[in-house]
Amino acid sequence: MSLIQPRTLKGFRDYLPEAMIPRERLIDTARRVYRSFGFAPIDTPALEYLEVLTGKGSDETDKQLYRFQDHGGRDVGLRFDLTVPLARFAAQHIGQLGTPFKRYHIATVWRGENTQRGRYREFMQCDFDTIGTTAVAADIEAILVINDLLAAIGFDKFTIHVNNRGILNAVLRQLGLADQSTAVLRALDKLSKAGWEKVEAELCESAGASHEQATAILDFSQLRGGCDEVLSAVEPMISSDADGEAALKRTREMMHAVSSAGVPDHRVKIDVSIARGLDYYTGLVFETTLDDLPGIGSIASGGRYDNLADLYTKQQLPGIGGSLGLDRLLSAMEELELIETSQTTAEVFIPLFEASRLGDYLKLAARVRAAGIGCEVYPEPKKLGKQLQYADKKGFKAALIAGGDEFANHQVQVKNLGTGESTTVALTAEAVVKELMRVLS
Amino acid sequence: MSLIQPRTLKGFRDYLPEAMIPRERLIDTARRVYRSFGFAPIDTPALEYLEVLTGKGSDETDKQLYRFQDHGGRDVGLRFDLTVPLARFAAQHIGQLGTPFKRYHIATVWRGENTQRGRYREFMQCDFDTIGTTAVAADIEAILVINDLLAAIGFDKFTIHVNNRGILNAVLRQLGLADQSTAVLRALDKLSKAGWEKVEAELCESAGASHEQATAILDFSQLRGGCDEVLSAVEPMISSDADGEAALKRTREMMHAVSSAGVPDHRVKIDVSIARGLDYYTGLVFETTLDDLPGIGSIASGGRYDNLADLYTKQQLPGIGGSLGLDRLLSAMEELELIETSQTTAEVFIPLFEASRLGDYLKLAARVRAAGIGCEVYPEPKKLGKQLQYADKKGFKAALIAGGDEFANHQVQVKNLGTGESTTVALTAEAVVKELMRVLS
């Protein structure tokens, strides 16, 4: 029989323990922070009716959909994000759930993307949303979640860039460019890459702006800084626009509340150029960058929308949500050396020094585990050096070594595998755990 | 525009918070226990080359496979279990990983099953395996994992039924039925449902056993009880069979070590009728039942195999593994009222009593969270009664209530939402957290 080649599909990845352990840790942190604000977990099927998935997606996501016919001849597809399933889910269950409804959803999605762009075809999303309220308190909370989340992961220097689509729209109205907003935003989006002159040209050509209008937009898009500073500069530009005034007021209220809730002012900046896509968001929008690695782009983004599920229900469901960019965060953490690599989840290693003592080693391990410390017993009575080599490769932090002499004296060696130091202690759960706590601390 | 009907595919489920919260808790417990023994997490793609998936599966799993052609015209399929992906993964990476390799894998699998049998087409598996060692220590550890896992979930009365395929095979050899082992095991498997007479008839008809042989097999299959008792009864039946003797010796060693590692003897029973499938397992096999709900079947099963990945590599990879039946466990826990239902992940609720105080409520919430206690602020200034109704429905345990009077006096009410009792404490992080700890304990 010829062998089948063991391989994964292009754009798909195996996660070995060394990659999976920090991944699980990051996901755990996200869950813990989401939960601390009262967001509750949900899950939805990976497979949905095709019509549910293609309803809202763009042409691009439609093209990337993994779609097929199931055993019953139904047209089905693999979800390509968690927002469309949330909309379907909310339309179906919101009566039972009630509002406001706060959920998080951490799950895999699939897109048949062009892998040449360094994208994967299977990746995990990590979303939180508050549905069924237009309250500014929910907007504020989204910013607090992002702040707590990045702090909990271990970041200190990051910036949350916020904007309100209402301000942007009011400025465009004032400039007489409300009807060209899509073309204007598309052009502005290229500013950091294409540069001022090219964007100015595009604004004139594609969006039909005059030279004056284009300059005004570009000047506006450069506004940055602290809350009062930027908002005071914007105010005169939209002074006669009621919606714009409301957006300004809401933004000011949000910024002050975020500050009084304890977020350092320098972490939250107003950036009027942020739009985040062209159609979906209607109020607050935000992106987050790492001050030490701004080039990797936003690692946590989101915004407020007026109507989540209009394709599936007549009930209007406004909401606010955000999403953590897991893969980007992990590569950033790697680059910033924030990841402690290890191939084991347990800290303590017990070599099987004397095969006839297996029961004793197992009993000792059980006692260490009962104290909340992970502990692995090597299964084979190989030479001690070999076993310790394995422990070293895997990244264990301490070893409990006991041979005939130790057992005879009712003792055990506690070895710090980092420093190589050993201490001999009495073979009791209390003494062993106490010394392990010292070594592992 | 007509609405798209929001619905899930037949055999697929949405998990609302009330179902998802205990599910996440159970998965967390499994991970914690697996990790405490040094098992490390891995993940593999949901989609694999079709040839990888169809290589080992039975005709039944092949028929149930969700398969299609991807954008590149490749034949692909959704994984139907985690064992085939583990085999492919091990063949591909074992050189880098080294042995013994201990992994857990908790992930979704898909099978286009007939839903009339009450089966779902999407479900989660929760596996652990030790690969690359034939040591009995790894067998013992599998039993210890199951014991710790069920105890950690909260079960006290459960039984782990163990057997060794080597004993079964030796008995069949002694009876001259080695060549009919598949037919014999298939018949024996029906004993609990079909009854003695029908199985006896099938043994004679399908397996070609004589009346005497059939009676001997059935008598043998009834052996139960403590280790020494059962093994002593089995011993004379296989006394001249070297492989059988070895399996007996190994089983005895395992039982004694499990006992000396601290597992109560009554929890682990030898049950010579357990075979667990016909081909795959070669040594230890085990199943686990809840003493209060034996009818739901095994909630944690597994066994030892000689060669995991022979379809993908010439390297022989023996191993031992087990799997937790999540869905079964959850319905058992529901039936035994072991699940505390709640729709929230946070314990403390802060009503937005005075809208102008939002910043103060947010600051208070941040302090509660900093003490490790989840806390949600209601986003809208509705009537207090309405807000508390929401808190009650969601299952919050305590509320922090502060209006104008309280703020003026620098105080806050801590309300136990279970008993309705309230205490007024100073509006400092220390006093509030201390009182919350008391209420929540």
In SS3 terms, chain A reads as: CCCCCCCCCCCCCCECHHHHHHHHHHHHHHHHHHHHCCCEECECCCEEEHHHHHCCCCHHHHHHCCEEECCCCCEEEECCCCHHHHHHHHHHHHHHHCCCEEEEEEEEEECCCCHHHCCCCEEEEEEEEEECCCCHHHHHHHHHHHHHHHHHHCCCCEEEEEEEHHHHHHHHHHCCCHHHHHHHHHHHCCHHHHCHHHHHHHHHHCCCCCHHHHHHHHHHHCCEECHHHHHHHHHHHHCCCHHHHHHHHHHHHHHHHHHHCCCCHHHEEEECCCCCCCCCCCCEEEEEEECCCHHHCCCEEEEEECCCCCCCCCCCCCEEEEEECHHHHHHHHHHCCCCCCCCCCCCEEECCCCHHHHHHHHHHHHHHHHCCCCEEECCCCCCHHHHHHHHHHHCCCEEEECCHHHHHCCEEEEEECCCCCEEEEECCHHHHHHHHHHHHC
Backbone angles phi and psi of B327, in degrees to 5? -65, -45
Taking contacts as CB-CB distances below 8 angstroms, the residues of chain B near A102 are: 376
Taking contacts as CB-CB distances below 8 angstroms, the residues of chain B near A108 are: 46, 108
| Predicted local confidence at residue B207, as pLDDT | 87
Mind listing the pLDDT tens digit for each residue in A283-342? 999 999 999 999 899 999 999 999 999 999 999 999 999 999 999 999 999 999 889 888
Taking contacts as CB-CB distances below 8 angstroms, the residues of chain A near B362 are: 137, 140-141, 144, 257, 260-261
A183 pLDDT band (50/70/90 cuts)? confident
Q: What average pLDDT is seen over chain B?
A: 93
The answer to whether the Cβ–Cβ distance between A89 and B260 falls below 8 Å is no
Nearest CA distance, A372 vs chain B (angstrom) = 8
Interface predicted TM-score of the whole assembly (ipTM), two decimals: 0.94
Q: Which residue has the higher pLDDT, A276 or A259?
A: A259
| Predicted local confidence at residue A57, as pLDDT | 61
Could you say which of A20, A44, A98 has the minimum Cβ distance to residue B41?
Answer: A20
Q: CA-CA distance, A142 to A37, in Å (whole number)?
A: 10
Per-residue pLDDT averaged across B299-317, rounded? 95
What chain A residue is nearest to B147 in terms of C-alpha separation? Answer: A366
Judged against a pLDDT cut of 80, whether residue B307 lies above it is answered with yes
Cis peptide before B85 (omega within 30 of 0): no
- In percent, how much of chain A has pLDDT > 70? 99
Could you say which of A21, A102, A112 has the minimum Cβ distance to residue B40?
Answer: A21
Judged against a pLDDT cut of 90, whether residue B27 lies above it is answered with yes
Known binding residue B428? Answer is no
Nearest CA distance, A174 vs chain B (angstrom) = 32
Per-residue pLDDT averaged across A364-384, rounded? 96
What chain B residue is nearest to A254 in terms of C-alpha separation? Answer: B359
Judged against a pLDDT cut of 80, whether residue B192 lies above it is answered with no
A258 pLDDT band (50/70/90 cuts)? very high
B1 pLDDT band (50/70/90 cuts)? low
Q: Which residue has the higher pLDDT, A233 or A277?
A: A233
Judged against a pLDDT cut of 90, whether residue B181 lies above it is answered with no
Tell the residue number behind the tokens 């599920």, with chain if given.
A309
Q: CA-CA distance, A63 to A70, in Å (whole number)?
A: 19
Mind listing the pLDDT tens digit for each residue in B109-141? 999 988 777 789 999 999 999 999 999 999 999
Q: With 0-12 CB in 10 A as exposed, 13-18 as middle and 19+ as buried, what is B116?
A: exposed
The answer to whether the Cβ–Cβ distance between B257 and A362 falls below 8 Å is yes
B34's enclosing H/E stretch is helix B17-36
Domains of chain B with CATH codes: 17-157+291-335 (3.30.930.10), 348-440 (3.40.50.800)
| Predicted local confidence at residue B59, as pLDDT | 78
Q: With 0-12 CB in 10 A as exposed, 13-18 as middle and 19+ as buried, what is A52?
A: buried
B368 pLDDT band (50/70/90 cuts)? very high
| Predicted local confidence at residue B189, as pLDDT | 79
Could you say which of B24, B38, B344 has the minimum Cβ distance to residue A38?
Answer: B344
Strand order in the sheet with B158-164: B40-41, B101-110, B122-131, B319-324, B300-305, B284-290, B158-164, B268-271, B224-225
Q: Give the tokens for residue A433.
A: 């755990």
| Predicted local confidence at residue B262, as pLDDT | 93
Per-residue pLDDT averaged across B59-67, rounded? 88
SS3 (DSSP) at B287: strand
Taking contacts as CB-CB distances below 8 angstroms, the residues of chain B near A262 are: 363, 366
| Predicted local confidence at residue B278, as pLDDT | 62
| Predicted local confidence at residue B279, as pLDDT | 72
| Predicted local confidence at residue A58, as pLDDT | 72
Nearest CA distance, A40 vs chain B (angstrom) = 6
The answer to whether the Cβ–Cβ distance between B260 and A45 falls below 8 Å is no
Per-residue pLDDT averaged across B390-394, rounded? 95
Judged against a pLDDT cut of 80, whether residue B367 lies above it is answered with yes
B83 pLDDT band (50/70/90 cuts)? very high
Known binding residue B34? Answer is no
Nearest CA distance, B254 vs chain A (angstrom) = 9
Per-residue pLDDT averaged across B196-208, rounded? 91
Q: CA-CA distance, A409 to B294, in Å (whole number)?
A: 46
Per-residue pLDDT averaged across B68-79, rounded? 95
| Predicted local confidence at residue B401, as pLDDT | 97
What chain A residue is nearest to B91 in terms of C-alpha separation? Answer: A6
Q: CA-CA distance, B108 to B78, in Å (whole number)?
A: 10
| Predicted local confidence at residue A60, as pLDDT | 79
A412 pLDDT band (50/70/90 cuts)? very high
A278 pLDDT band (50/70/90 cuts)? low
Per-residue pLDDT averaged across A365-380, rounded? 97
Nearest CA distance, A347 vs chain B (angstrom) = 8
* Torsional class of B19: left (φ above 0), alpha (ψ -120 to 50), beta (otherwise): alpha
| Predicted local confidence at residue A279, as pLDDT | 72
| Predicted local confidence at residue A180, as pLDDT | 86
Closest Cα to residue A376, out of B129, B126, A366?
Answer: A366
A190 pLDDT band (50/70/90 cuts)? confident
